[in-house]
Chains A and B, each alone.
Chain A
Amino acid sequence: DVKVTQSSRYLVKRTGEKVFLECVQDMDHENMFWYRQDPGLGLRLIYFSYDVKMKEKGDIPEGYSVSREKKERFSLILESASTNQTSMYLCASGNRGRTFGSGTRLTVV
């Protein structure tokens, strides 16, 4: 089975901090994705990547950046965390279907 691993389940950060969320997949997929999920707003696509060093903006990229230096790893970076970035962050991988990681609940205080 495909495994998508997110480095943290729960994270608490202070406003203004630089935050790194890491995602690793073990199935050699070209495509990887970052979503955030908020009550009433559903899942929204932040960024995706279809190859190493390639990235595309999703629907809500503002305040975020990404890094894909190796095929198996896709990092989401909050350059200066703000309270409105408190959310559930979900990473996914897949060339046809998508497999999701277990999510990271980020709280920015």
Chain B
Amino acid sequence: GIQVEQSPPDLILQEGANSTLRCNFSDSVNNLQWFHQNPWGQLINLFYIPSGTKQNGRLSATTVATERYSLLYISSSQTTDSGVYFCAVFRGSTLGRLYFGRGTQLTVWP
């Protein structure tokens, strides 16, 4: 399988701070997604980003597929950003299992 490593494992911020989360993967992939798991356990899709850069409000993501990493940027963090951020990758066209990283636990204090 594909190894997915996320860093840092834990991150504690004050509201308003910026942060960068990193995802490294061990092999070429066709797809990469960033998810946020909220305190109730739901996995919410943030970005589908096999390559390039995307932005959605205060969040943006960049994937450099040739160098096998992706970055998630959170700007002006808010307490509602707290939770676990997962990176997941797979290869194959439509069928293929997702390989998840262990996640980054983000805590934002007011």
Chain A residues at the B interface, C-beta cutoff of 8 Å:
30-31, 33, 37, 42-43, 45, 48, 50, 58, 88, 90, 92, 95-103, 105
Contacts and interface: CB of A to CB of B under 8 A. Distances in A.
Interface of B: 31, 33, 35, 40-45, 48, 86, 88, 94-95, 97-98, 100, 102-103
A100 B40 contact: no
Contact of B103 (A42, A88, A95): A42
Nearest to A102: B42
Contacts of A103: 40-43
Contacts of A102: 40-42
A31 B41 contact: no
A97 B43 CA distance: 13
A42 B100 contact: yes
A31 B95 contact: yes
A100 B88 CA distance: 13
Contacts, number: 50
Contact of A100 (B31, B42, B94, B102): B42
Given A43-B100, A98-B88, A90 B95 contact: no
Contacts of B98: 33, 43, 45, 92, 98
A45 B43 contact: no
Nearest to B96: A31
28 contacts: A30-B94, A33-B97, A33-B98, A37-B41, A42-B100, A42-B102, A42-B103, A43-B100, A45-B97, A45-B98, A48-B97, A50-B95, A58-B97, A90-B41, A95-B94, A96-B94, A97-B33, A97-B45, A98-B33, A98-B88, A100-B44, A100-B45, A101-B42, A102-B40, A103-B40, A103-B41, A103-B42, A103-B43
